[in-house]
Amino acid sequence: MLARACGFESRLRHHLKMDNAISLLSDSNIKSGQLADLVPEFYELKNVVENNDWHHKENIFDHTLSVLENLEKILRTLNKETKQFLDSRIDHISRRELLKVATLFHDIAKKETFSNNNGYTLCPDHEDEGSIKARRILKRFMLSNKELEFVLQIVRHHGIIHRILALDNGDFKKKYASFKKRFSRNIYPELILLAFADTAGSYLKKTHPAEFKSRIVFYKKEIENLPPRNKI
């Protein structure tokens, strides 16, 4: 393991400046297989296939790249103020780029949390496990402490809004208000944008069309008001 870690660092230093190593984590590099040695954990997700209300026989590798593609489309539709906000930096890297990194890692621990019950799959607590696993991997890319913690917060908390928006949630207003209050001064925009991208391409559109529509309407309305007016 030590030898592999040294290899990672040597390759990163050779190809990129110290403050730009994270730029390796692009969809093109991942799709081409160029990161197979640097981040083998991504490619292991090809063997983790989900089948439930949100995913129809879909492997996590393809799902992750699909969510990133959806995110890119959403980012292009944002208002000027939100785009400028996402261009602001956490130390040396923009919130926009760190959100993309978090998107790539949001389901990274589904391999470790995967369960199959007669063909119906679940990955309980993959968010918490994902933040732990992502921390180990991202240390290879020499992020600052602030940049790293920003990404890990998004990974750790990205599932909360999914649960709040369930149609059978009778406490929606109370739980949503608490969620927004909790995160409005740090990662609320990123959580909303990631959840929107995660939902947009989901199988929920076929399994629960009314719920899918309700969620999409919510996200479209919410991104019109990003960032929250009480400034993060």
Residues 74-133 pLDDT 10s: 999 999 999 999 999 999 999 999 999 999 999 999 999 999 999 999 999 999 999 999
Alpha helices in 1-59 (DSSP H): 2-15, 27-32, 40-44
CA pair distance 108, 53, nearest whole angstrom = 20
Q: For 119-172, what is each residue's pLDDT tens digit?
A: 999 999 999 999 999 999 999 998 999 999 999 999 999 999 999 999 787 899
pLDDT of residue 173: 92
pLDDT confidence tier of residue 1, bands split at 50, 70 and 90: very low
Residue that has been written with the tokens 């160029």 in this structure: 34
CA distance 219 to 162: 11
Question: In this predicted structure, what is the pLDDT of residue 167?
Answer: 75
Look at residues 22, 114, 10, 17 and name the one whose alpha carbon lies nearest to residue 60: 114
**DSSP string covering 136-184, please?**
HHHGGGT--HHHHHHHHHHHHHTTHHHHHT-TT-TTHHHHHHHHHHHHT
Say if residue 227 is preceded by a cis peptide, omega within 30 of 0.
Answer: yes
**What pLDDT, on the 0 to 100 scale, is given for residue 170?**
83
Average pLDDT of the chain is 92
**Per-residue model confidence (pLDDT) at position 214:** 96
Return the structure tokens found at 14: 């050779």
Residue 7 scores a pLDDT above 60: no
* Higher-scoring residue by pLDDT: 12, 120: 120
Query: pLDDT value at position 56?
Result: 97
Q: What pTM, to 2 d.p., does this model score?
A: 0.91
What is the predicted pLDDT for the residue at 21?
83
Average pLDDT over residues 33-55: 97
For the ranges 9-18, 111-120, 204-213, the lowest mean pLDDT is seen at 9-18
| Residue 188, pLDDT score | 97
The predicted structure's pLDDT at residue 146: 97
Please report, for the chain, the start and end positions of each structural domain, with discontinuous segments joined by +: 2-223
